[in-house]
Amino acid sequence: MTWVWNQFFVLEEYTGDEPLYVGKLHSDVDKGDGQVRYVLYGEGAASVFAADEKTGDIHAIKRLDREQQAYYTLRAQARDRSTDLPVEPESQFVIKVQDINDNEPKFLGGPYIARVPERSPVGMSVVTAVATDADDPTYGNSARLIYSILQGQPYFSVEPKTGVIRTALPDMDREVRDRYLLVVQAKDMIGQTGGLSGTTSVTVMLTDVNDNPPRFPRRSYQFSVPESVLVSAVVAKIRALDMDVGPNAEMDYRILHGDGLGTFSVLTDPNTQEGLVTVHKTLDFEKKSSYMLQVEASNRYVDARFLSKGPFNDVAAVRLLVENVDEPPLFSSRLSRMAVSEAAAVGTHVGSVLAKDPDATNIPVRYAIDRKTDADHYFNIDSQSGVITTARPLDREGVALHNVTVFATESLDPSQVGKAVVLVSVTDVNDNAPGFAAEYEAFVCEDTEPGQVIQTLSAADRDEPDNGHHFLFALPPEISGNLNFSLRDNKDNTASILTRRGGFLQRDQPVYVLPVVVSDGSSPPLSSTNTLSIVVCTCDGAGNRHACTRVSTPLSVVGLNTAAAAAVLACVLALLGVALTVAVRRQRREPPMMDDERGIRENIVHYDSEGGGEEDTEAFDVLALRHLNKSKQTRQKPERIPPEPVARTPESGTDRKKLFRDFIQRRLQEAELDLTVPPYDSLRTYAFEGSGSAAESLSSLNSMESLSSFESEQNYEFLKEWGPRFRKLADLYGHHDGGGLSS
């Protein structure tokens, strides 16, 4: 197939009534008899372009826009009309849309905002305004643009081909005019007649440079200042004006000279750029009533390009008139420090204060103590002389420093009051005895060796000697020969407790009490006796505690004399006898335990040592304990052990202790041999007083008669203190753990 044209062209934006002819398809096989039919395929076929089947003429049936699609690729084929078979191979061709100038230039980045420093030289670039044209830049002049300024001359200009806007006048002053509005035009067809154009606006703002110095609007200023003004207070404000803005308008003020150079100072308010004149020293009208200052204002940042215009500073005179006011009395010192011993007697002189009326009248003053600062009235002050004395005994350990406020009031005008602070330090005297620095929990292992350190002690003293503490440790003379423990003073305010023997046993004595005398070594020395409890523990091979006896009070005291120990032991046996007698009587009166009572799992019995027998017993039902023994005897029927006679008056404390232990051991042996004993823990408390005991009752009504073995009131006080603790120890010995005695 041959074409009339290899490439077809069609003009865009055709607005005629008839289809626009594009070109013609023709095949050499076509004889003109209508046997060849032309068919069109591809982009826009049948929708944009149509081909005549007989003639092959191609027409545009739709208005074209090159900016939407610049060309179309189509395919054509010639077919036999009768058989519809191709008579030519399929061929491809292009229809190109030809451009016309139908698009105006557009500034896509506009409107523009630009900044340029004031005083910029001519030709400085400001901003580039760029326009675009949608027409074909390769065909004709439809997309060739020319720029011009329609508004903004003669201050600015634009390069015709690039759109770069530049300054056109020198020394544009921001203080005169700070912004300009430009209108820039872009026209296609190289600006020829008939071309299309577009415009945009450009706002140019002049930025500030430091081209103006500060200036005071007045050459002199005058202010009045009361003499009572506080130091650092602002007494005057002056301001120099600067036509610049921002950092270029920031300025510093300083006093160049004048008689108030050391009394006043000036600084700059960062928000208002004002000069703030402040008082640097206290004013006194009676000494000086006026001051004259020369104050300079200068730019903080200077542009060297504009120094030729003149100095960038200005000077003004400031006169300050001091006004007289009625001032309150002034103390010679607003803060006074005094010292007095805590041993000082009432009325002792501590110190004195002095205040005067600063005015020329010099009115006498009266002194007083602000009782809000001395609520406990430790001090008095003489209203006329200002002498301070003690009003009550002092205690450094209670209050070491007294902060007292003293008033001075004009005698003729009570409203004029001055005040000062007096700090009174109370010096120390040795009036407190030292003691242990902590509550120590000492222990000793059962298998410990002699000479082993079991506790290191330190001391504390509320006093504070000038040379520091020097504590001395020792054992009281009455127990210095005990065979259990010894004390070694380490000469460094500590002491070590050492064992003097080995073989400590919990069952013999679970806890020891060791009195220790601590002295402060002062002159005269003060001392106190402190008690150290030492618990006997079972330990592992490394000496770590494994099990310790938990008792609140030891069985015996290290160094306790024989008479006191015998009295304590007698008290213990008496208490145990009362408890055992009550238990036996209740056992005789109680009925046998029923089967459903065997479900009881815990029995906790408490005997009141000062009650009237059974009425003072607070406990759960103790039937389980008694009936378990009877049931056990019924089932096993062991040989009954007759009760051993109990001596009425044991000859010594050792005999009484053995009697009690034998009784407990028998009861424990019964429990261990009885297979019916429940596999749970129970607390069994046995108390008895023996037959014919002198302590028939421990009632508070005849306590002194029941304890006839104690011949003095001192022994009775000892019993009251230690009796309850030994009862707890007795309870401990009665704890049965299903197989032995637990300590």
Q: What is the mean pLDDT of each run of 10 residues along the chain (743 residues)?
A: 62 77 82 85 86 85 83 87 86 84 88 94 94 83 90 94 93 92 92 87 94 93 93 95 92 93 93 95 89 94 79 92 89 94 94 90 92 95 95 93 96 92 93 92 91 94 87 89 90 94 90 93 88 92 79 45 46 59 49 42 42 44 43 40 40 56 67 55 48 42 39 43 46 39 30
Answer yes or no: do 515 and 369 share one domain: no
CATH number at residue 393: 2.60.40.60
Torsion of CA 76, 81, 83, 86, to 10 degrees: -20
Decide if 51 contacts 39 (C-beta within 8 A).
Answer: yes
pLDDT at 202: 96
> Across the beta sheet with 125-128, what order do the strands follow?
125-128, 164-167, 156-158
Asked if residue 214 belongs to a domain, the reply is no
Which of the listed residues 185, 207, 229 is the one where a domain comes to its end?
Answer: 207
Instruction: Using CB atoms within 10 Å of the CB of residue 294, give its burial: 0 to 12 exposed, 13 to 18 middle, 19+ buried.
Output: middle
Instruction: Using CB atoms within 10 Å of the CB of residue 73, give its burial: 0 to 12 exposed, 13 to 18 middle, 19+ buried.
Output: exposed
- Indicate yes or no: pTM above 0.85: no
Asked if residue 289 belongs to a domain, the reply is yes
Give the structural domain span for 122: 112-207
Answer yes or no: do 295 and 376 share one domain: no
pLDDT at 599: 40
Which of the listed residues 499, 516, 548 is the one where a domain comes to its end?
Answer: 548
pLDDT at 98: 79
- State how beta strands 197-207 and 112-117 pair: parallel
Which of the listed residues 305, 323, 341 is the one where a domain comes to its end?
Answer: 323
pLDDT at 417: 94
Answer yes or no: do 542 and 440 share one domain: yes
Asked if residue 104 belongs to a domain, the reply is no
pLDDT at 559: 42
Asked if residue 423 belongs to a domain, the reply is no
Torsion of CA 642, 647, 651, 654, to 10 degrees: 40
Asked if residue 21 belongs to a domain, the reply is yes
Answer yes or no: do 481 and 568 share one domain: no
Nearest to 349 by CA among 381, 308, 312: 381
Asked if residue 742 belongs to a domain, the reply is no
232 secondary structure, DSSP code = T
Question: Please, what is the angle between helix 653-673 and helix 562-589, to 10°?
Answer: 40
Query: Burial code of 173-184, b = ≥16 C-beta within 10 A, e = fewer?
Result: ebeeeeebebeb
Cβ of 253: how many Cβ atoms within 10 Å?
Answer: 23
Give the 3-state secondary structure of residue 467.
coil
Distance, CA of 204 to chain centre = 53
86 secondary structure, DSSP code = B
Answer yes or no: do 614 and 722 share one domain: yes
* Total domain count, the chain: 6
- Could you tell me the CA-to-CA distances from 612 to 100, 278, 297, 466 in Å, in that order? 133, 90, 103, 60
Asked if residue 149 belongs to a domain, the reply is yes
| Alpha-carbon gap, residue 77 to 39, rounded angstroms | 5
Answer yes or no: do 707 and 585 share one domain: yes
Instruction: Using CB atoms within 10 Å of the CB of residue 523, give its burial: 0 to 12 exposed, 13 to 18 middle, 19+ buried.
Output: exposed
Answer yes or no: do 591 and 534 share one domain: no
Nearest to 73 by CA among 135, 125, 8, 1: 8
pLDDT at 511: 93
Answer yes or no: do 258 and 373 share one domain: no
Decide if 351 contacts 390 (C-beta within 8 A).
Answer: no
Encode pLDDT of 574-616 as tens digits.
Answer: 666 655 654 545 554 444 444 444 443 344 444 444 444 444 4
Answer yes or no: do 480 and 580 share one domain: no
Answer yes or no: do 592 and 711 share one domain: yes
**What ranges make up the beta strands (E) of 12-48?**
20-26, 36-42
The size of the chain, in residues, is: 743
Answer yes or no: do 60 and 179 share one domain: no
pLDDT at 670: 65
- State how beta strands 20-26 and 57-60 pair: antiparallel
Answer yes or no: do 78 and 118 share one domain: no
